[in-house]
Structure 1
Amino acid sequence: MYVEQGYKGELGLWKYFLIPMGFIGLMALNYAVIKFLNIDVEALMASEIAKKGANRFLVEMLVPFVVGIVLLFLWVKYIHKQTLTSLTTSRRKIDWKRVFFAFGLWAAITISLTAIDMYFSPEDYVFNFKPEPFLYLMIIALLLIPIQTSFEEYLFRGYMIQGLGIMAKNRWVPLVVTSVLFGLMHIGNPEVEKMGAGIMVYYIGTGFFLGIMTLMDRGLELALGFHASNNLVTALLVTADSTAFQVDAAYKYVAEPTLGFDAFVPVFVIFPILLFVFARKYGWTDWKDRLTGRVETKEVFLATNTAPIDDE
Structure 2
Amino acid sequence: MKDYIALATKGYYEWWRYLVGAFLIFIIWQIGTIPFVAAVMYKIATDGGDFSNVGNYETLMGTLDSNLTFFLMLLSFVIGLFGLWLIVRFFHNQKFKDLLTTRKKFDWKRVFFGFSIVGFFITVMTIIDYNINPDDYLWNLKWDQFFILAIIGIVMVPLQTSFEELYFRGYFMQGLGVIFKNRWLPLLVTSVGFGLLHLGNPEVGKVGNVIMVSYIGTGFLLGIMALMDEGLELSIGYHAGNNLITALLVTADWTAFQTESILLYTAEPSIGLDVLTPVLVIYPIYLLIMAKVYKWKNWKSKLFGKVELPDNEL
- For the criterion TM > 0.5, the same-fold answer is yes
Q: Alpha carbon RMSD of aligned pairs, Å? A: 2.1
Please name the residue that 1:17 is paired with: 19
Aligned counterpart for 2:216 among listed residues 195, 204, 207: 204
Q: What's the secondary structure of 1:248's corresponding residue?
A: coil
C-alpha displacement at 1:20, in angstroms?
2.8
Q: Output the TM-score relative to the length of structure 1.
A: 0.88
Please name the residue that 1:35 is paired with: none
Q: What's the secondary structure of 1:264's corresponding residue?
A: helix
C-alpha displacement at 1:11, in angstroms?
1.3
- CA distance in 2: counterparts of 1:239 and 1:153, whole angstroms: 23
Change (3 A) 1:78 1:21: closer
Q: Is the 8 A contact 2:169 2:232 kept in 1?
A: yes
Q: Mark the runs of 5 or more structure 1 residues left unpaired by the alignment.
A: 31-38, 302-312
Give the 5 Å matches for 1:94-173.
94-173=106-185
Please name the residue that 1:283 is paired with: 295
Please name the residue that 1:298 is paired with: 310
Count residues with an aligned counterpart.
290
Please name the residue that 1:2 is paired with: 4
Q: Is 2:100 aligned against 1:88? A: yes
Please name the residue that 1:74 is paired with: 86
C-alpha displacement at 1:57, in angstroms?
0.9
Aligned counterpart for 1:183 among listed residues 183, 192, 195: 195
- CA distance in 2: counterparts of 1:219 and 1:49, whole angstroms: 35
Please name the residue that 1:307 is paired with: none
Q: What's the secondary structure of 1:126's corresponding residue?
A: strand
Change (3 A) 1:300 1:289: farther
Q: Mark the runs of 5 or more structure 2 residues left unpaired by the alignment.
A: 34-51
Query: What amino acid is the match of 1:15?
Result: R
C-alpha displacement at 1:40, in angstroms?
9.1
Q: Is 2:227 aligned against 1:215? A: yes
Q: Is the 8 A contact 1:58 1:245 kept in 2?
A: yes
C-alpha displacement at 1:74, in angstroms?
1.1
Q: Is the 8 A contact 2:25 2:84 kept in 1?
A: no
Deviations 1:87-112 (A, max 9, x none): 10111111111001111121111100
Q: Is the 8 A contact 2:102 2:230 kept in 1?
A: yes
- CA distance in 2: counterparts of 1:294 and 1:249, whole angstroms: 45
Please name the residue that 1:33 is paired with: none
Query: What amino acid is the match of 1:5?
Result: L
Q: Output the TM-score relative to the length of structure 2.
A: 0.88
Moved more, 99-108 or 228-237: 99-108
Give the 5 Å matches for 1:237-276.
237-276=249-288
